[in-house]
Each structure stands twice: as structure tokens, then as C-alpha cells.
Amino acid sequence: MIWERLLAVVSPDGTPLVFPSGLFLWAFAIFALAHGLWREHGAVRRWLFIGFSVWFYWRSSGEFVALLLGTTVVDYWLARAIGATESTAKKRLYLALSLGSNLGVLGWFKYANFALGSWATLSGRTFEPLDIVLPVGISFYTFQSLSYTMDVYRGEIVALKRYRDFLFFASFFPQLVAGPIVRAKHFLPQMEADLHPSGAERSLAVRLILGGLLKKIVVADYIAVNFVDRIFDAPLLHTGSECLLAAYGYAIQIYCDFSGYSDMAIGIALLLGFRLPVNFDRPYAAATLTDFWRRWHISLSSWLRDYLYIALGGSRKGSLRTYVNLALTMLLGGLWHGASWKFVLWGGVHGAWLALEKLLGLPQRVAGSRWKSALSWLVTFHLVVALWVPFRAKTLQIALDLCGQILAGVDVALLRQVVTAFPTVFLAMAAGYAAHLAPNALDRWFDGRLAKVGWIGRALALAVVAWVVVQVRTAGIQPFIYFQF
């Protein structure tokens, strides 16, 4: 496994540097103290952030920290060159060099084995995979760095004069390895702003961190270790009822795993005075797939829209071209998630369905009609769940096996037996779905309570959550799902 190989390099004692780990909590406490002491000294504060961020990535990805630093050096100077010339041809050349270097590195580490293996299959040759380890978070920081050079090229921001400032932006540790993907035009102004979060922002930060911990460990890790993983590992050994419940389980697992990380990243950044974009907005409440992608991994969806879909022509070149652009954008979005034909299938079906919705005008048709919206939601939710199956399965064959077990028959009595056999697993699943679908007003109410109880109350809430986490943990912290992307 890539995770184990990488972990052996960066952490000989087997301890990964992830947000819920004790190592991170101690390291962050020391950093936060130093940050508080030097908050008013801009240059020192920047170097503190850079030092901690580089150390954080080294502990997450070992020697590949050199790759991150190399990316920042290349894009910093190419952006400076773009900003310094008036020649359109030279601007395009420098942008092409940035695109080529970033996508070339990403392509080698992420897609070399996939491309070579696919070619070998088509040509009937044997293929021994190259010994390539995928650096943690490479897709995230590559897209983030690319957005900077493209925004400079478009004239939306001015190229930074100091490499230190660009390195601060590109290596910002809360969202470095799994997002949200932050745009330079949103982040850079904050580097010069007042970094004193208000009481309401501190309460929001604590709620996000606590909620992220509960999502990750109490829901995602628990149902994965105790139910979902064993079904997906060998679906033919389980009934259709178990396979169906595992599909629903993985849907809430991946949401709680990824949104839990995003919540913790946003909360940690907010404690330090930085405001990162919201990355999830109750995606399983979406009535259409179009709306789902406005709510799921919002920073990636908006990135693909602004830098790929619109660059391809968007909806400006006729209906047919619009549908093609949608399908192509999602196809490439699928490949962003992984170098495998199952991700091509996943992205391709999403893209085709989005094009179909646009062709039928479905988002407009269901708006304002309660029963149409409910029916469309039911179809959309189960489409998303069904497409998570090939996303999660190790191979397309395993995905077909699991779907075949479900289609062979689901017995209601067996469903009850499975739920009864794993009561805490399905209690965690139910809690995950309930928390996901809870109205935003509940979050605001909780923020208000945290603001009123002060720091003692917030510390007590953290202690309670920590106790709950310790009680339900049955194994070590599981790797975040999106670390592999």
C-alpha cells in the first residue's frame, strides 16, 4: 500500500502527522503559542508559518517536500515573468511553461503507470508497474499553484514580489494535503489583514474542529473498520442486503471523512485568523446532480468550472459544445481523483448525467414543485450512491460483483438482521446522515452556545469530544480518503 510505504519514510515509529493525532496537537500547540507571541511581526510570523508548514508536509510526505518547494520556485518566477512583460506571446509562453511543469510532474507521479499499463493492455504486452509513490496532496497543491499563475496571466492579481509570500500561500499547512483548494486572489489579501479572530469566529472554529473530529473518527473510521471495508473487500462472501447497506455506509463514510478534514482545516485556519472557503454544503440534500456538484467539494468544482469548463468555451459556443464541455470537464475531474479506468467511468457518467440534466432543463423543472423535487432528490441520491461503488471498489470487477449481489436480491428480513448484528455501526451511520441533513440553523445555534460559555466551556466541549473519540476508536487513525488524490 502506498500509505504504508510513505509512512515508513516519514515516520519510522508509524505515527502519521494528521490533524487528529497527538503529535499534531502538541506541535500545533507550540506553533500557536509562538504565533500568538509574534502575531504583530509580519515577517517573523510568515517565516513561522512557512517553517511549520514545510515541517508538516515533510512529516506527511517525507522527501517529497522538495517537490513542493520546487513547484513554488518555478511558479513564483514564471508568474513574475508573466507580470513583467507586455508581450502576449511571452505571457502565453510563460503560462504554458507553468502548465507544462506542473501537469508534467503530476502526470508522472499520478498517471505514468496508468498510461503505460493501458498501452500494454491494448498492445498485448506485459507490464511491470514502475516503483512510483504518489506524494500526499500533490493534486491539491498543484491546482492551487496553477490557479495563481493563471490569475496573474488573466490580470486578476499582481505577481508577488517576494518568494516568501508565495511560499506562505502555497504551503499553508491547514489545507495543504487535502484542501480546500484556495485561490490566491482570496488568500493573499488576508496575509496583510488583521489576524485577530472575533469571539464568534473562535466559536465557529471550535465547532468546526469538534465536528470534524466526530465525523472522521466516530462516524467515518468506525463504520469503515467495522463494516464497510470487509464488504467491499469480498462482496461475493456477503448477501445483497449487506452489500446494499455497505453502499449506503460508504456514501456517508466518504462524506464524513472528507468534510471532516475540510472542517478541521477551516477551523484551524480560522483560529489563526485566516478564512478558507466552505467545501461542503449538505450535498446529499441536492435535488439534482447539478446541485450536488455545487455542494460537494466546492473548491474543486469551482476550480474545474473556472479554469477548465469556461476555458473550453463553457456554454458560449452552442448547446452541443456545452454538453461536450460538461462531459469532458467531469471526465477529467474523474481522472483527477485517480489514475484508473474506474475513475474514468465515474467521471464520465457524472458528466453525461450533468449534460442530460442541462438538455432536459431539469434544475428548472423541479424548482418550485415539492413532489418533483422529492422524486428528483430520490433519483439523484441513489445515482450518487451507486457511482460511489466503483469509486470505492479496488477494481471494476469488485464493483460489478457488489452490484450483482444487490441486484440478485435484497431481503427485508436480512436487512433487519444485519442492522441488529451491527447496532453501533448503523447508529453511527444514522448519526452521520442526521448531522449531514440537519438545518444550518442548528449550527448557528451551537455556535451561539459556544460563544456564551467562553473558553472554559469550549475546553470542556473539546474534552467531551476527546473522550467520545477515545471510546469509539477500535484501531489507529485511518488515512484520510482524499490523501490518495
Task: Note the pLDDT of residue 123.
Answer: 84
Task: Note the pLDDT of residue 14.
Answer: 45
Residue 50's Cβ-side half-sphere holds a number of Cα atoms within 13 Å equal to 18
What amino acid occupies position 156?
A: E
**Rounded to an integer, what distance in angstroms lies between the CA atom of residue 351 and that of residue 387?**
12
Task: Note the pLDDT of residue 3.
Answer: 38
Convert the pLDDT of each residue in 270-307 to its tens digit. 988 899 999 999 999 999 999 999 999 999 999 998 88
Task: Note the pLDDT of residue 13.
Answer: 45
Task: Note the pLDDT of residue 271.
Answer: 86
**Which of 478, 423, 482 shows the shortest CA–CA distance to 255?**
482
pLDDT < 70 stretches in the chain: 1-21, 194, 447, 450-459, 461-479, 482-485
**Which of 225, 208, 163 shows the shortest CA–CA distance to 475?**
225
pTM tops 0.85, yes or no: yes
Task: Note the pLDDT of residue 153.
Answer: 94
| Catalytic site positions | 337
Q: How many CB atoms lie within 10 A of CB 427?
A: 14
Task: Note the pLDDT of residue 432.
Answer: 92
Q: Are 221 and 478 in contact (CB under 8 A)?
A: yes
